[in-house]
Structure 1
Amino acid sequence: MDKNIISVCGFTPTIGKDCFIADGARVIGDVTLGDHTSVWFNAVLRGDVNSIKIGKNCNIQDGCVLHTQYKVSHIEIGDFVSVGHNVTLHGTIIHDYALIGMGSVLLDDVEVGEGAIVAAGSVVLKGTKIEPYTLYGGYPAKFIKKIDPEQSHKMNHTTAHHYSVYASWYSHPELHPDREIHDEEQ
């Protein structure tokens, strides 16, 4: 078995089709990754005390820590979600097309609505419910403004697509000698 994928207490991670798990990342225990999801360098997804379920076309960027609380909280992440570098998620639910900015911390029972954005460096306190298509930021994170749903979907779909391309640079380097990204619309 891959050294990046670790079984614990009878739970072995379930990895979808065409996923990328970078060297140094760890996917542990009761974790499910949807198709085309990437987990980047030094990210740790610890499904040892409860479950972590991640949808398709997500990217969990470098240095992230995802963990849960024993018998209390789990993590659910929808489709086309981007979790920025060095984010900590602890027992959170994140809906489709959301973006969690670099260095943010989301504590237990936080729920991030579809298409919402958490600004980089934010701390989202326990139990906070972030409405769909809103921007939250700060310490503690507070509502900043509403976001256009079409712009949110496009931005997060594009980010997810780019991370799929980046992953292919590692898994199929012969296909990308020029490191060019061709957006799907072209």
Structure 2
Amino acid sequence: MSQSRPGVNIVPIHGKTPQIDETAFIAPGVTIVGDVTIGAGSSIWYNCVLRADVSRIVIGERTNVQDGSVLHCDPPRPGDPDGSPLIIGNDVLIGHMAMVHGCVIHDRGFVGLGAIAMNKAVIGSDAMLAAGAMLTEGKVMGARELWGGRPARKMRDLDDAAVMGMRMGTAHYAENAKHHAEAIAAAL
């Protein structure tokens, strides 16, 4: 697990230091605080903030968190001893300027541009939270469902073409991260 990244703010707090796989791409301008784990081949893009100062954030493999997104969690409270950690699976796409807070996103889930997912919400495998949508606290999206609106509601099930499109997006970001890493290394 690598900790030194040019232009990246890595901040240990409360005895917890972010753990970042060496193969993950972390863009300059990103701030990662506390109990954060980032898996192999994942990418965190420019100006994202991942703050795990009161609980934990876990990001799986080949997941991308796009520019300007904010990821946070909530601590344990009376009646809620587990709090709301943020748990993100493998091959997840999180669009630009999303706010993802104390929820669970299963493998291959998709969070659209500017969308919000709140505490204890669940985004199922191959499911899509549409751009600008707000998935309110405790709502559960099933596998292969499209939800949209504020508050978000189920719109329809996703067909194979939509699911394949999301998988192509994951592959694109994995490849593009390599190009950005090379460009940043060359500029140093």
Same fold (TM over 0.5): yes
1:23 matched to 2:28? The reply is yes
- In structure 2, runs of 5+ residues without a counterpart are 77-82
**One-letter code aligned to 1:67:** H
The answer on whether the counterparts of 2:144 and 2:163 sit within 8 Å (CA) in structure 1 is no
* Alignment correspondent of 1:78: 89
1:151 matched to 2:156? The reply is no
1:41 matched to 2:46? The reply is yes
What's the CA shift string for 1:108-131, capped at 9, x where partnerless? 110010000000000111110001
Q: What's the offset of the Cα at 1:56?
A: 0.4
1:51-70 to 2 correspondences below 5 Å: 51-70=56-75
1:119 matched to 2:130? The reply is yes
1:130 matched to 2:145? The reply is no
Given the alignment, which residue of 139, 164, 168 partners 2:174? 164
Q: Count residues in correspondence.
A: 173
The answer on whether the counterparts of 1:97 and 1:152 sit within 8 Å (CA) in structure 2 is no
What's the CA shift string for 1:90-113, capped at 9, x where partnerless? 100000111100001111110010
**Bigger mean CA deviation after superposition, 154-163 or 136-145:** 154-163
In 2, Cα distance between equivalents of 1:21 and 1:4: 10
**One-letter code aligned to 1:114:** S
What's the CA shift string for 1:54-112, capped at 9, x where partnerless? 11000000111101111211011111000000000110000011110000111111001
Q: What's the offset of the Cα at 1:153?
A: 4.3
* Alignment correspondent of 1:5: 10
Q: What's the offset of the Cα at 1:5?
A: 1.7
1:172 alignment partner, SS class: helix
1:69 alignment partner, SS class: coil
Given the alignment, which residue of 142, 146, 152 partners 2:153? 142
In 1, Cα distance between equivalents of 2:100 and 2:18: 18
Distance of aligned partners of 1:156 and 1:17 in 2 relative to their CA distance in 1, 3 Å threshold: farther
TM-score, reference length from structure 1: 0.88
The answer on whether the counterparts of 2:71 and 2:101 sit within 8 Å (CA) in structure 1 is yes
When the two chains are superposed, the root-mean-square deviation of aligned CA atoms in Å is: 1.4
Q: What's the offset of the Cα at 1:173?
A: 3.5
Q: What's the offset of the Cα at 1:23?
A: 0.8
In 2, Cα distance between equivalents of 1:159 and 1:17: 22
Q: What's the offset of the Cα at 1:152?
A: 4.7
**One-letter code aligned to 1:43:** C
